[in-house]
Amino acid sequence: MKTPLLAVQSAHNPNQSTTTCEPDHLTPLAAATRLGWMPRRNGQPIHVATLYRWDTRGVKGVRLQTVMVGRTRCTTEQALREFFKALAEADMRQMAPVPRPANSRERERVAVKARQILKPRVRSSTNSGNCADLEAS
């Protein structure tokens, strides 16, 4: 469960506990691209549009947590680290091991089965190619 970047106590329920972060921990996305530990491409910082894309569309179902402060979209270093960690975990889930046949006989059996599945269906040369012939075959 992710905690929000910045939460404000509700005026309707002042007893509600909220998680807040210090305002000085918030970093505008434009400045976040130049953080020393952020990944770079050819020595250049990531473009700010990339961070906006990570916020709006996400990557592999993972979105960067951000918050609007006035007219500036901000994030925290912790949110960036959690984003990269979640991406790495998503990559690990996608890299599930592919079962391999145990021996050459098993490999040949699987290959024959695959060829049968992928074998194109060849129409008879007697068909004229109209729709009725296609439906009948």
Give me the pLDDT at residue 129, please.
53
Question: Residues 91-100, buried b or exposed e (16+ Cβ, 10 A)?
Answer: eeeeeeeeee
Give me the pLDDT at residue 8, please.
44
Residue 17 predicted with pLDDT over 50 = no
Domain boundaries, the chain: 24-94
Give me the pLDDT at residue 123, please.
56
Residue 42 predicted with pLDDT over 70 = yes
| pLDDT, tens only, 51-100 | 999 999 999 899 999 999 999 999 999 999 999 999 999 888 777 676 77
| pLDDT, tens only, 96-135 | 676 776 788 888 888 898 888 888 765 555 555 555 544 5
Amino acid at 46: I
Give me the pLDDT at residue 41, please.
85
17 φ/ψ angles, rounded to the nearest 5 degrees: -80, 140
Give me the pLDDT at residue 125, please.
52
